[in-house]
A and B are shown apart, each in its own frame.
Chain A
Amino acid sequence: MNLMGLFRSPQNELEKGGRKQDREETGINNTCPHCGALLPLSEQLENLNVCTACGYHFRMSPRERIAYLADEDTFEELFGELKSRDVLGFPGYDQKLRNAKLASREKEGVVCGTAEICSEKCALFFMDPNFMIGSMGTVVGEKITRLFEYALEHSLPVVGFTVSGGARMQEGILSLMQMAKTSGALRKHSDAGNFYLTVLTDPTTGGVTASFAMDGDVIMSEPGATIGFAGARVIEQTIRKKLPQGFQKAEFLLEHGFIDLIVPRSEQKETIAKLLKLHKRGSVQ
């Protein structure tokens, strides 16, 4: 150490120990993909992963959703033991599954269970954006089917958060069959007079939109979520034109009559609880 340095005043920010704020920004900061604002992670988390500047809703894992929706310690997971197998021997699928498990810290692309929301008991599923973007394979279809069967048996409403790039192509036609399988279970649950609420989150596309996402008695969406059948790129290739801004966004679907309401994350718990209360069995005379 230069002895002289002990006596001289700091020459720059680094020597001063850096700007405190800067240090926070470099390590634990997120840039909002919508407005470009630099968000300290702590602030973002506190705000339910919504940009404090523009209201952009970041994607969220099932466990994060459970934390803000379910009453404390009421969530009980169901069918968590089910794991996918590479049935068709699809090249690279095993590795993809391993990566997805690491990225999501879940065994599969959907988390199911029961919980209370403002003391209203319900069955829930949450698809996982970090597990192959919630792609639907056999196990995702099976868990959702079993959840509806469970809810039917226990006369529970189902609240389902969807996020999906569509059917999982590594399981070929068996993924496609999940659309019919889940539709059947939903139908039985519905025919018995049970309530099903879907909450569409970014992105909900393909086979999931074309089956259980669109089957809710009430269809809610997060603001700005992309919702559609075909992906934007596929449509642009088909029609050889650029799509207009806002195409396939939740607001676009609301305008075209395909969803009931858009609810920001901060109001979801309250709105869901209200809807559950209104559909409580025996509440209508």
Chain B
Amino acid sequence: MSAYDKVQLARSKGRATGLSYIETIFEDFIELHGDRRFGDDPAIVGGLATLRGKPVTVIAMEKGVEVKEKLRRNFGSPNPEGYRKALRLMKQAEKFHRPVVCFVDTAGAFCGMGAEERGQAQAIAENLSEMIDLKTPVISVLIGEGGSGGALALAVADRVWILENAVYSVISPEGCASILWKDPKKVKEAAECLSLTAQDMERLGVVEKVIPEEKDFGKVYEQLREDLSQELDTLGKLSLEELLQARYDRFRKF
């Protein structure tokens, strides 16, 4: 499978979206809305849930499944208020000592006028700065598209995992082809050059783990529930100092 095939697979219709991970892996999900600043961004869903009986804060980017839903969720491209809502929930998790699990799936942070007016860059910058020092364990799972800074804004974590057919990139292959070669037809080459597949991420040390995808997707959720629960236990045993130093070092090495 070529890199671009993977990109298409990551974007494909019918691929499981963020909310289905939350609903399948966790129990007792209660959605919490709004950033307390401007609004509630439907492109990011967050709230409280339990994982094998233990409370967690869960946050997911949601692209929507049906057309109307996709429109309402802006195809999973968050506005600043989405990132600010996510941060609010993470700070809340920190206060109540519960871990955070994020599911990342976005073509990128939204590039609209309102997004710029309300400080898209500032919102992302603040998330990076707060997440690197969030005083509770964080695991981020890239489940589909990992579109640049808009994805990283939920992926500064103690563990970053990626699904076998998900991608993570600094720019879309389309953007790369048109900027670098002024030729949108060179997307396949661009995808190859960008090293954006899950396997590339593992090779480059960007993720700790690649999660195999199975035809029966229920097995993927099952595996994730097991892995998340185990890993959160492991991270929970570290002192705060160890946890934060390890997270710092994890990103310092690049």
A interface vs B, CB < 8 Å?
Answer: 88, 90-92, 138, 141, 145, 167-169, 171-181, 183-188, 191, 206-207, 209-215, 228-230, 234-235, 238-239, 243, 247-248, 256-258
Select which of A88, A90, A180, A207 is within 8 A of B132 by beta carbon: A180
* Nearest neighbor of A243 in chain B, beta-carbon distance: B113
Report the Cα distance A83→B194, complex, angstroms.
20
B122: interface (CB < 8 Å): yes
B contact residues, range: 35 or more
Report the Cα distance A186→B132, complex, angstroms.
10
Q: Which residues of chain A have C-beta atoms less than 8 A from B133's C-beta?
A: 184, 187, 191
Instruction: Give me the 9 closest cross-chain CB pairs, A-B, nearest first.
Output: A230-B111, A177-B254, A209-B121, A229-B121, A214-B125, A210-B124, A183-B128, A229-B120, A180-B251
Asked if A229 contacts B109 (CB within 8 A), the reply is yes
22 A-B pairs, CB-CB below 8 angstroms?
A90-B193, A167-B148, A169-B171, A172-B194, A173-B169, A173-B194, A174-B204, A176-B149, A176-B168, A178-B254, A180-B132, A181-B252, A181-B254, A183-B156, A184-B132, A211-B124, A214-B119, A228-B121, A229-B111, A239-B112, A256-B117, A257-B119
Report the Cα distance A209→B153, complex, angstroms.
13
Report the Cα distance A107→B62, complex, angstroms.
42
Select which of A141, A174, A183 is within 8 A of B125 by beta carbon: A183
B210: interface (CB < 8 Å): no
B180: interface (CB < 8 Å): yes
Known interface pairs A174-B204, A174-B254, A258-B122; A167-B112 also in contact (CB < 8 Å): no
Select which of A178, A185, A248 is within 8 A of B116 by beta carbon: A248
Q: Which residues of chain A have C-beta atoms less than 8 A from B189's C-beta?
A: 91
Q: Which residues of chain A have C-beta atoms less than 8 A from B200's C-beta?
A: 172-173
Known interface pairs A172-B195, A229-B121; A183-B170 also in contact (CB < 8 Å): no
Q: Which residues of chain B have C-beta atoms less than 8 A from A235's C-beta?
A: 111-113, 116
Which of B128, B156, B193, B195 has the most C-beta atoms of chain A within 10 angstroms of its own C-beta? B128
Asked if A173 contacts B128 (CB within 8 A), the reply is no
Asked if A215 contacts B125 (CB within 8 A), the reply is yes
Q: Which residues of chain A have C-beta atoms less than 8 A from B171's C-beta?
A: 167, 169
B21: interface (CB < 8 Å): no
Asked if B111 contacts A183 (CB within 8 A), the reply is no
Q: Which residues of chain B have C-beta atoms less than 8 A from A184's C-beta?
A: 132-133, 248, 251-252
B115: interface (CB < 8 Å): yes
Asked if A177 contacts B206 (CB within 8 A), the reply is yes
Q: How far is the CB of B81 from chain A (nearest CB, A)?
A: 14
Asked if B112 contacts A213 (CB within 8 A), the reply is no
B196: interface (CB < 8 Å): yes
Report the Cα distance A210→B176, complex, angstroms.
19
Q: Which residues of chain A have C-beta atoms less than 8 A from B230's C-beta?
A: none
Select which of A172, A215, A257 is within 8 A of B129 by beta carbon: A215
Known interface pairs A186-B129, A210-B120, A229-B111; A173-B196 also in contact (CB < 8 Å): yes
Report the Cα distance A216→B152, complex, angstroms.
20
Select which of A167, A179, A206, A229 is within 8 A of B128 by beta carbon: A179
* Nearest neighbor of A138 in chain B, beta-carbon distance: B254
B61: interface (CB < 8 Å): no
Q: Which residues of chain A have C-beta atoms less than 8 A from B156's C-beta?
A: 180, 183
Asked if A230 contacts B116 (CB within 8 A), the reply is yes
Q: Which residues of chain A have C-beta atoms less than 8 A from B175's C-beta?
A: 234
Q: How far is the CB of B83 from chain A (nearest CB, A)?
A: 10
Q: How far is the CB of A209 from chain B (nearest CB, A)?
A: 4
Q: Which residues of chain A have C-beta atoms less than 8 A from B252's C-beta?
A: 145, 181, 184-185
Known interface pairs A172-B169, A258-B119; A210-B113 also in contact (CB < 8 Å): no
Asked if B129 contacts A206 (CB within 8 A), the reply is no
Known interface pairs A178-B254, A230-B120; A173-B195 also in contact (CB < 8 Å): yes
Asked if A214 contacts B254 (CB within 8 A), the reply is no
